[in-house]
Amino acid sequence: MIFDADGTTIDAFHAVEQSFLRHGMALGDLERFQKRRKLFKYLGGLREFPNNLRRQFGKQSRKHLLSTLTEFYRYEASLYPGIESLLRTLLATPDVRIGMVTRNVTMEPEETLSRLFRRHGIDTREFDFLLCLPLREDKTPHFRRTRERYAVNPARAYACGDEYSDYRAAIGAAMCPFVVAYGAEDRLRLKDAFDVPEECIVPSPEEFCSRLLHALDLPSPRNPEQG
């Protein structure tokens, strides 16, 4: 199982929102954020755009914002409900390989993620892999190489994410995709703008945990009788 970080396991919107506020900027609400095109997500809507653009202009301004975001991730950011329990279950299950391939934007992202997960009682050193990629790098070859490295049958290989690019990478690596609709994109945008099949879209963190455990034939914490 290949996990994504921001917007899938980690509540990235809240982290970015709070970091923006500390620099006198605003993102708007999650619903509006999810509907924006990727290029404009972090510039805000019509109400927020002029002020955000002015405050983000300049190398030093962006550096200070990135530093604030990094600190927030390390000391305050949270996992979505159910993710901690899910990871504990998977780490304790023999023959299940799990790890993370992410394009996290913080400084020294491996250290940042390690600290965040450690606060939730998860040691990332127990993951089989943790890959932090540059922002524009395609995940597809990394998904494929990771699956091949552990000799996992494509029918038993899963990858998750909150953007169309995550879905495309999973399909391109012959893996089964989970696309969550509580991160960067909402259900309608994933379905209508990107033609992601409804059956692949997961509406909530709790539903994501339940579906993945079911796919791996593991009992769901909400219903121990369910396979």
pLDDT of residue 32: 81
Residue 218: closest CA among 72, 37, 226, 81? 226
8 CB-contact burial (10 Å; exposed 0-12 / middle 13-18 / buried 19+)? buried
From first to last of its 227 residues, the chain has per-residue pLDDT tens of: 999 999 999 999 999 999 888 888 778 789 888 887 775 566 555 555 455 555 665 556 678 888 999 999 999 999 999 999 999 999 999 999 999 999 998 999 999 999 999 999 999 999 999 999 998 899 999 999 999 999 999 999 999 999 999 999 999 999 999 999 999 999 999 999 999 999 999 999 999 999 999 999 998 765 444 43
CA 44 to chain centre: 20
Residue 57 CB neighbour total at 10 angstroms: 9
Query: What pLDDT is attached to residue 62?
Result: 76
Instruction: Write down the pLDDT at residue 227.
Output: 38
Distances (CA, A) of 11 to 6, 182, 222: 7, 9, 21
Query: Judging by beta carbons within 10 Å of its beta carbon (0-12, 13-18, 19+), is residue 95 exposed, middle or buried?
Result: exposed
Secondary structure of 53-92 as H, E, C letters: HHHHCCHHHHHHHHHHHHHHHHHCCCECCCHHHHHHHHHC
Q: Report whether 65 contacts 23 (CB < 8 A).
A: yes
Rounded CA-CA distance 7/166 in Å is 11
For position 25, what pLDDT does the model report?
78
The predicted structure's pLDDT at residue 65 = 84
Q: Count H helices, E strands: the chain?
A: 10, 6
